[in-house]
Amino acid sequence: MRGPHNIWRLIRTGATFERTGAMKVALDAMNAPASLRIAARVLGWPFAWLGYKGDPNLPSLTRAITALGPAYIKFGQIMSTRPDVVGVELADQLRMLQDSLPPFPTEIAKETILAEIGMPVSELYAEFSAPVAAASIAQVHRARRADNGREVAVKVLRPGIEAAFRRDIDAFHFAASVMEMLLPASRRLRPRDVVSHFESVVNGELDLRLEAASASEFAEHVAKDKGISVPLPAWSMTARRVLTSDWAEGLPMGDIAALQAAGHDTAAIGQRVLQMFLTHALRDGYFHGDMHQGNLKVAPNGDIIVYDFGIMGEIDAYARRVYAEILIGFIRRDYDLVARVHFEAGYVPADRDRDEFARALRAVGEPIFGADASRISMANLLGHLFEVTERFGMQTRTELILLQRTMVVVEGVARSLDPQINMWQVARPVVEAYVKDNLGPRAMLRDGIRVVQALGRYGPLIPEVVERRLGELLRAGPQEAPRETLRPKLALLLSGAAIALAGVAVGVWLG
């Protein structure tokens, strides 16, 4: 379905922005040059009548995004956390995309619950409210369980949301393909892979059983952490399009005035949000991938309540170590270390100059340190980083897209709570603790033990592997390999077998 018919979808996107007045707002936010403004006007104005009208009661940009559909709303949610990039006024307009979208009728929600759970709402819940929050994919009702009287949140997918997302993502795939075809330089950014990654993330959000499982797993990871609360799912009242979980009572993270009026230290909360995210990403390799203000609350006792686990991120142990070394390099202003890690991990092609890359990183990192955080332009910083990656031929790492995106979102949340926050200073204790535990002698010993234990588990297979390989080498002997070549191969194989047997013995001893 990714054919030229998507051209129409993309034309309507531009036309909708022009018709609603969002085009000018977006260009102003980006400080677009006059040439781009003129081009946008010339190309957009004749087709404005083709655009969606949207809700005239909404601000122009929000009006355009909500009219275009859920995928566009997701992007708007991300930008709502970055007032330093899009401006305070625009960020305020976009913030309503988090949980203040128009709801669908409660009766439809009740019909969905009946169809999914197999029981009417009146039997499941003693109380069931009108929608208390509505976002791009689902809306939430406050309810009370009929069996035990506990307050719960009932999340119900919007009707037709699956088809709407397929339509939007189909157009994104087409746009990415056209971009790679017409702009060869864009291929290093792998736009098609990026869209595919986004598609997989969204598909996970459209099955609320997976969200319930993510909430349960996340709660296990943070069970011993102080200052964080996770609402747990009620599995008997959860299905593909319905999720019931504990009710989370607290103030919205985005309501700064209410938090301060309640006596909460918003600057301290901002630091905790940032450190909490880094801890989950580095320590657990499992983190909340959609940590905007709409998914965070502050409980009366000061705990940070995290909910809405539709998007979760995972990074393996090796990627975590690389990420930590890059962070600690920037924190310590050790740009040679950052450059070395990039090259060793294969993030930068091996034929590029490492010293030159280190100098380019210094030009990015140095303006951060010693500067007033409120005066740092994140837009300019991101632009500079883009120039560096383009210059050195770095490809987009799709496995790190969600981590990088969430880092940007979390920093935006933290900065909304404390405009003077310094990301690097706040991150330093978390990253240094991880590096100390995972990149030092203790980590090497722990890795060695894991290798030996793995050899122990595969011990029963080792004799068969050695026998088969020896047979192959001996049969190949004189015909395919001279004796002087065969002898070191046999020695190497026998040495490996001896090491493996030693590993089996140590593995048995370690249990």
pLDDT greater than 90 at residue 442: no
Choose the weakest-confidence range: 157-161, 401-405, 474-478, 488-492: 488-492
- Residue 221 pLDDT > 60, yes or no? yes
Q: Is the pLDDT of residue 453 over 70?
A: no
- Residue 208 confidence (pLDDT): 95
Among 288, 340, 328, 330, which Cα is nearest to 311's?
Answer: 288
Question: Mean per-residue pLDDT for 38-66?
Answer: 79
Contact 279, 430 (CB under 8 A): yes
Residue 443 in tokens: 């980590």
445 φ, ψ (degrees, to nearest 5)? -65, -45
Q: Mean of the per-residue pLDDT values for the chain? A: 79
Q: Which of 403, 190, 404 is nearest to 315 (CA)?
A: 403
Segment 487-495 long-range contacts (CB within 8 Å, at least 24 positions apart): 493/466, 493/469, 494/466
Model-level pTM? 0.72
pLDDT for position 198: 72
CA 426/CA 417 separation, integer angstroms: 14
Task: Work out the average pLDDT over 51-74.
Answer: 83
Cα 176 from Cα 306, distance rounded (Å): 33
Token pair listed for 164: 């709407």
More confident residue, 477 or 271: 271
Cα Rg for the chain, rounded, in angstroms? 27
In this prediction, residue 443 has a pLDDT band, given cuts at 50, 70 and 90, of: low
**Candidate from 60-69, 72-81, 256-265 with smallest mean pLDDT:** 72-81
H/E element holding 128? strand 125-134
Q: Residue 164 belongs to what H/E stretch?
A: helix 161-182
pLDDT surpasses 90 at 349: no
Q: Are strands 304-306 and 296-298 parallel, antiparallel or unpaired?
A: antiparallel
Indicate which residue of 290, 308, 351, 372 is catalytic. 290
**In 10 A of CB 110, how many CB atoms?**
19
Q: Are 275 and 428 in contact (CB under 8 A)?
A: no
Q: What average pLDDT score do residues 227-240 get?
A: 96
Helix (H) or strand (E) holding 473: helix 462-480
Mean pLDDT within 60-65: 85
Dihedral sign computed on CA atoms, order 305, 285, 326, 406: negative
- What does the pLDDT read at residue 508? 47
* 290 flagged as catalytic: yes
Q: Report the alpha-carbon distance of residue 318 to residue 342 in Å, rounded.
A: 13
- Calculated CA dihedral for residues 27, 33, 37, 42, nearest 10 degrees: -150
d(CA 105, CA 131): 8
The larger pLDDT score, comparing residue 41 to residue 66, is at 66
pLDDT tens, 302-339? Answer: 999 999 998 888 888 888 888 888 878 877 889 898 88
3 state DSSP class of 157:
strand
Judged by DSSP in three states, 185 sits in: helix
* DSSP per residue, 3-16: STTHHHHHHHHHHH
Q: Give me the pLDDT at residue 3, please.
A: 60
pLDDT-based confidence at residue 87 (cuts at 50, 70, 90): low
pLDDT of residue 459: 65
